[in-house]
Structure formats: C-alpha cells, structure tokens
Amino acid sequence: MKLDELGNLRRTHLSTEVASKLAGKEVVVMGRVGDVRDLGGIKFFILSDISGSIQVTAPKAKVGKKLLAKIDGLTQESAVAVRGKVVAAKQAPRGVEVFPSEIRVLNLASVPLPLDPRGRVKANLDTRLDARALDLRRSESLAIFKIRHQALQTARNYLVSKGFIEVNTPKIVATATESGAALFPISYFEREAFLSQSPQLYKEVLTGCFGRVFEVGPIFRAEEHDTPRHLNEAISIDIEVAYAAAEDVMKILEDLIVEVFSDVKRKCAEELKPLNHKLEVPKKPFRRVTYDEAIKKLERAGVKVPWGEDLPTPAEKKLGELVDGAYFVVDWPMILKPFYTMPKKDNPKLSGAFDLMHKGLELASGGTRIHQEELLVKQLKQKGLNPQSFESHLQSFRAGLPPHAGFGLGLDRLTMVLTGADNIREVVLFPRDRRRLAP
Ligand code: ATP
Ligand code: MG
C-alpha cells in the first residue's frame, strides 16, 4: 500500500472528545488502528490515541470502493488519520462513532508484530522490554507512566512550595560518593572520569548558596546485582537543606510521601484500575524503628543479623512484615553509612542516618551530614579514600558550609510502590541492567 501524506490535515478532536453531542459534525481524528472487523454490511475498526478510543464505522452501501479497500489493507497499530461525520450509535462504545469520508494511512505497521499491545497474548517481561515501543502502548504501561508522571509532578510542586530551588549538577564526575556502590568509569579526554552515583557532594555544597535545593536526575550504579529492585541507571529525587538535621528532613520526606500517595490516589483513580492496585496512603508520623530494635525484632522472628551488618533482603522483607506500611529505620551503625554521614553526638558508633522503608522495600536514604572539614577528612581516611581527591569539595567546607541534612528518594522504587509493580523494570521506560543496554 502506498502511504498517504499528512499534508495540511490536522486533528480536530482527540478520540474521546468525539461525543454524540457532535452528531452531524465533521471531525478529523488521528491514532492507531485496532482490529478491523467485517460484519457483512459494515466494516469497522477502533482508533486509539492518548485519550482513549473511538469506533470508525463504514457502511458498505454508503462508502466508496476505494475507501473500503483502504480499510481492508489496514494492519493493527498502523497510524491513520480519519476525516468523517460524527454519528450517534447505540451499538458503538460510548454511543458514538465516526462515519469516514477519507482515511489517510500515514504509516502501515508490519505484521506480525513482535507483541500484542492489546495484551490478549501474554508476553514475558524480556520480550516486552525488547519491543518496548509497542509494550508502552498497553493500557497497563500507559497507566504506570501516568502515575509516575503524577508522582514526580506532585513531588516537585511540594518541594517548590516549601522554598526549594531545583538544580542540575554534573553527571560526569571525578570521585565516588557512595563507597559501597561501584562506579562506571568513562574516558574523559586524557583522564579517567566516572558517571555520578549521586548528586550528594554538589547538593551539600549548594546548601551554603541556596539554602534548600533539590534535584531530579539519574544516578549510575555499577553493581552487578540482578534483582527486581535495582537498575544500573535509576532516577533519584535528591534534596538537601541548610541548618537542618535528620529529623527535619524526615518530616519533609513524610509530608512529601503522603502528598504523593494522596494525589496519585485521587488524580489517578482511572490508572489504578487497570493495574488492580489499591493504594493505601501511609499515616503520619511514620514509625521510627532504630537499627537496634530492628535487629531485636528480627531475632525474635528467627532472622539473625549480627550487629553492624546491613539488613540483607530477606531480613528487610521480614521487617516489612513485622512493621508494615511506611517506616523509618534510624540510628544506623556508622560503619554501614557513607563518609559524609554525621556520627551521633552521644554515641559516635551510631549515625544520624535513616532509611525510609515501605513494606520491606528501601525507598530513600538520608541523614544529618558532616559540615566540619576536620571530621570529614577523618572519615574519608577511615573509609580508605584519599582526602586530596576531594580537595575542591573540602574548599566549600572552609568557606563556612552550614550544618545540613538531606535524602535521596528513588523515583523508580516509589513508582513501584504506587503502581504495585513487583519489578522495577516495569516502571522504567528503557531500563538499564546487567544484560540490557537496548532499546
Ligand atoms: P539498596 O540498599 O536498596 O541497594 P542503596 O542504599 O545502595 O540501595 P542509596 O545509595 O541509599 O541506595 O540511594 C538512595 C535511593 O536511591 C535508594 O533508597 C533507592 O530508592 C534508590 N536507588 C539506589 N540505588 C538504586 C538502584 N541500583 N536501582 C534503583 N534505585 C536505586
Ligand atoms: Mg540506602
């Protein structure tokens, strides 16, 4: 089939804007073709766009041969433009259809497609991710990304309303920040550089300039993990606040989480339906469980974690069952937290760091940070890092960096919880993991 030109033709209505009150009027709709059906006297197909869908119905007796042949040549998912008259029709979905006078085939999809975006034939996640451009047309995918969009929108609005300035910091960096997580090296002219693991150091410095900052950006982690909650590229909502300590930013985080959950529940009710997800808005204040309490609770439940070790996944899951909902784990041992973490004054073995958990899944980490150069240098050395590599960072400490605190909240993990997805790959458009670099 020879393809038609779009030319000057423009859409007059989205599919769901075509309502029976427009009966008799001419409209132009554009979108993707569903199955073409032939019921003897009529041929029809469903045309879908971002708003929903509309039925296009051609009675054979009233429509020219050329147009009928065009309909016959249509394949599922092809991009078309339809000019036609709006007709009220009881038998059509939403009681309205378009009776075409012109159909332009703008791009004919090749059949067979690698997967069925209508989901009648189930495909596994790998197949779906290989054909992601088609997979993202499924109503469940669309619902997930509308919810993700809403979550980000609400988080941004909330932070801006609290006086935060949105910033963008470099993603090509010279040093590590999260000592546990591995770095991706890149060649930077004659030197080696890395992809940034987190905006940590920059946002800390910026508290001395702008007071309250946030950034939504990628973090790169070269860990070889292959889990349902880790990717090698993730999006983090990072905040940092001057003249604040852990408890201050925990309150901000609690508020932000409750705002996001409430907004998604209210504004995305239509999207939650195809996902079969009942969203429960966590209640403030979230429980604060100390690391020591967590270890004791776990031990009573038969899960042993030696003091000073990170909670392995099964322990995190168990704790999620024991505490439920959203909760903070606080007072982590210093050895488990990054070099910029402030030790507790009354017990320097413990830190002013916290994790926000939701049903056993870590959503965010944060805490009070060090603002004194001497202490930071001491801790860099303790973690086996060379303070000289951090010289430009330390400069800002000498320039009177205020006490500060902040957190990094994983947007992908947050979206998992909001949509009920059990694999992080479901909520990321084009995920990057150990095996996947394309699409
Ligand atoms: P985890 O213990 O789950 O591996 P982490 O403690 O290494 O995470 P942080 O350095 O605390 O992660 O990063 C802050 C937040 O960023 C995490 O709480 C999480 O929501 C998100 N995040 C970190 N690493 C990843 C990753 N590899 N994939 C997806 N999200 C991540
Ligand atoms: Mg963490």
Q: For every residue of 326-337, which 3-state class applies, written as one string?
A: EEEEECCEHHHC
Q: Is residue 152 domain-shared with residue 24, that is, in the same domain?
A: no
Could you say which of 39, 72, 107 is where a domain stops?
107
- DSSP string of 103-126, one letter each residue: EEEEEPPPSS-SS-TT-SS---HH
Catalytic positions: 221, 223, 229-230, 362, 365, 413
Residue 129 covered by a domain = no
Ligand 1 atom closest to the Cα of residue 197 is 10
Nearest CA among 89, 115, 96 for reference residue 29: 96
Residue 396, classed as helix, strand or coil, is helix
306, 394: one domain: yes
For residue 193, CA distances in Å to 68, 178, 185 come to 60, 15, 6
HEC secondary structure over 12-78: CCCHHHCCHHHCCCEEEEEEEEEEEEECCCEEEEEEEECCEEEEEEEECCCCCHHHHHHHHHCCCCC
Do residues 338 and 380 make contact, with C-beta atoms less than 8 angstroms apart? no
In this structure, are 170 and 213 located in the same domain?
yes
* Residue 356 DSSP SS3: strand
Alpha helices, H only, 162-245:
200-210
Q: Is the CB of 358 under 6 A from ligand 1?
A: no
Which candidate, 303, 295, 300, 364, places its Cα nearest to that of 328? 364
Q: Among 107, 142, 163, give the residue marking a domain's end.
A: 107
Q: What is the CATH number of the domain that holds 198?
A: 3.30.930.10
Domain coverage including residue 347:
134-427
Question: Does 23 fall in a domain?
Answer: yes
Residue 154 falls within a domain, yes or no?
yes
AA letter at 318 = K
* Interaxial angle between packed helices 246-267 and 411-419, expressed in degrees from 0 to 180 and rounded to the nearest 10: 40
Dihedral of alpha carbons 417, 423, 424, 428, sign: negative
Beta pairing, strands 26-38 & 79-88:
antiparallel
Cα atoms found within 13 Å of the Cα of residue 338, Cβ hemisphere only: 21
Report pLDDT for 118.
Answer: 86
What whole-number distance in Å separates Cα of residue 264 and Cα of residue 15?
24
Rounded CA gap, 242 and 240, in Å?
A: 7
234 and 299 fall within a common domain: yes
Ligand 2 is an ion; its neighbours by CB within 5 Å are 365
Q: Which helix (H) or strand (E) holds 437?
A: none
Q: pTM score, two decimals? A: 0.96
CB within 8 Å of 386: residues ≥ 6 apart: 380
94 and 173 share one domain: no
Rounded-to-integer distance, Cα 250 and Cα 198, Å: 19
Domain assignment present for residue 158? The answer is: yes
Q: Within this chain, do residues 85 and 223 fall inside the same structural domain, yes or no?
A: no
Residue 358, in any domain of the structure:
yes
Residues 176, 62 share a domain: no
Number of domains in the chain: 2
In a domain, 179, yes or no: yes
Give the span between the Cα atoms of 140 and 117, in whole angstroms: 10
Q: Is 323 helix (H, G, I), strand (E, B) or coil?
A: helix
Q: Do 156 and 244 sit in the same domain of this protein?
A: yes
Contact 418, 151 (CB under 8 A): yes
Beta strands, E only, 115-260? 165-166, 172-173, 185-188, 191-195, 212-220, 233-242
pLDDT digits (tens, 9 = 90+) for 190-217: 998 999 999 999 999 999 999 999 999 9
Among protein residues, the one with the nearest Cα to ligand 1's atom 8 is 362
* Residue 195, phi then psi, degrees to nearest 5: -80, 140
Q: Which atom of ligand 1 is nearest to the CA of 236?
A: 16
For position 254, what pLDDT does the model report? 98
Give the distance (Å) from ligand 2 centre to CA of residue 356: 9
Q: What is the reported pLDDT for 153? A: 98
Q: Extract the tokens encoding 336.
A: 């488990």
Domain assignment of residue 127, yes or no: no
CA distances from 303 to 298, 299, 316, 356, 357 (A): 5, 5, 10, 21, 18
Same domain, 28 and 78: yes
Is there a domain that residue 121 lies in? Answer: no
Q: Is the peptide bond prior to 439 cis by the omega test (within 30 degrees of 0)?
A: yes
What parts of the chain have a pLDDT lower than 50?
A: none
Ligand nearest to the CA of 219: 1
For residue 72, the domain's CATH number is 2.40.50.140
Q: Ligand 1 centre from 221 Cα, in Å?
A: 9
**CB atoms inside a 10 Å sphere around CB 329:** 23
CA of residue 410 to ligand 1 center, whole Å:
7
In a shared domain, residues 375 and 252: yes
Q: Which of 247, 236, 239 is nearest to 212 (CA)?
A: 239
User: Does one domain contain both 62 and 184?
Assistant: no
Give the number of the atom of ligand 1 that is nearest the alpha carbon of residue 407. Answer: 14
Any bridge partners for residue 404, and if so which?
242
User: Strand order of the sheet with strand 185-188?
Assistant: 172-173, 191-195, 185-188
Do 44 and 167 lie in a common domain? no
Report CA(423)–ligand 2 centroid distance (Å).
Answer: 18
